[in-house]
Amino acid sequence: MGAVTPVGIGKEEYWQNLLKGTSGVKPLVFPTMDMDQYRTKIAASLDSFDPSAFFPTNKNTKYQGRTSQVAMAAAKLALEDGGFELAPGKKNTPIAGIDPDRIGVIMGTGSGNMDILEEGHGPFLEDRGPKRTSPHALPQQIISAVPANIAMQFQCRGISYAIPTACSSASQAIGNSFRHLKYDSWEDIVITGGADCCITPLIFGCFTAMRAMSTRNDDPKKASRPFDRGRDGFVMGEGAGIIVLEKLDHALKRNAPIYAEIVGFGMTLDAYHITIPNLGGEMFYRAIQMALKEGGLRPEEVDYINAHGTATRLNDPIETRAIKKAFGKRAYEIPISSTKSMIGHLIGAAGGVEAIASAMSINENRVHPTINYEDPDPECDLDYVPNEMREVSVRVAMSNSLGFGGFNSVVILKQYEK
């Protein structure tokens, strides 16, 4: 597992800061923009990320785009964490001893490398034409550039594609990778998860115009408040969460570390509204049902839920209703926490970093808190693990993701048992 997040780079630093309840939210400044134009002036940005710490940089590095760079870094961390040996070459780092034709890359991303497109658009308008437009802008901005850059870096020649289902992207990528390996695919390994760096002047401005983000600018660390009565919108984050999925026999053959196995996946569509979830949470509930059924699990077997938990007025009660419908009275007994309370909303990468948190909970029997939960909302009346980490026996964990367009994704992870 590899994480590049606002509270830590690498799964251990990321996980330890989640357990401590560390917030990565801070004031935001766009050097080229007047911040007074933005109602929201805070974000969970990756200020310390440097691609040269992971790969040799050259004249082409800047054209890859920030999302591709964090994705490649998280993929490298995941491969190293999985015990793979990387063989440095002049242009890439192939995975030693593994047939490259049997390694796939399925990545979730909401916006891809929008920074490249935005940077190219300015000169295009100023010069009234394409004379100074970079020829790199289009191929690197295309959503599929993110998995393509990972595949080129590590010489993965199996199945590869991108999934752009908004905030559900990474979870669907993980679910699709699981299904692909499950049904006797050619590949033995799929690098999957998500990456997104949406903190750009245009995208951030669009979310500001939608009034979807918190305006608690005077107290950034308290701004992301999932399930709290005082929540006023999500906080945007950026980063990547990537996991290496592997067929069991292949993993055992090379004595790989196994954090968990994925046993169930459910995905549905509300078909209701482009931004507003179905208020009854009906199709989200169906996605939970599907994942439980595929995993052969009863509702009482789920020990922990990593919630979508965006801290928006609509999402949190809708998610709460769906969980209650799926689990009945058991819903009140399951610890539920929102990773977004600390790292903000990583959009297309959210499901990746949250799957890592879920796997770590299974490994350590600890669940991280939902910070800033201070004033309970009567509509959100479940156990959200308020403000402090908790020791809990976790054999089965469920990770939820919802996205604009009405996409609902549920991934279920289970403790690996020999």
Could you tell me whether strands 8-9 and 26-27 are parallel, antiparallel, or unpaired per DSSP bridges? unpaired
Residue 287 to residue 308: CA distance in whole angstroms: 13
Separation of alpha carbons 359 and 411, rounded Å? 11
The H or E element containing residue 327 is helix 315-327
Query: What is the rounded distance in angstroms from the CA atom of residue 370 to the CA atom of residue 403?
Result: 20
- Angstrom distance (rounded) from CA 305 to CA 358: 8
Give the active site residue among 180, 308, 368, 380. Answer: 308
Among 156, 197, 198, 345, the one annotated catalytic: 345
Q: How many whole angstroms separate alpha carbon 43 and alpha carbon 166?
A: 18
* Angle CA 24–371–166, to nearest 5: 65
Please answer whether residues 373 and 227 qualify as being in contact, where contact means their C-beta atoms are separated by less than 8 angstroms: yes
What is residue 195's three-state secondary structure? strand
Q: How many residues does the chain have?
A: 418
Selecting among 167, 197, 198, 380, the annotated active-site residue is 167
Q: Is 345 a catalytic residue?
A: yes
The span from the CA of 17 to the CA of 413, in Å, is: 22
Residue with tokens 């998610």: 319
Active-site residue set: 167, 308, 345
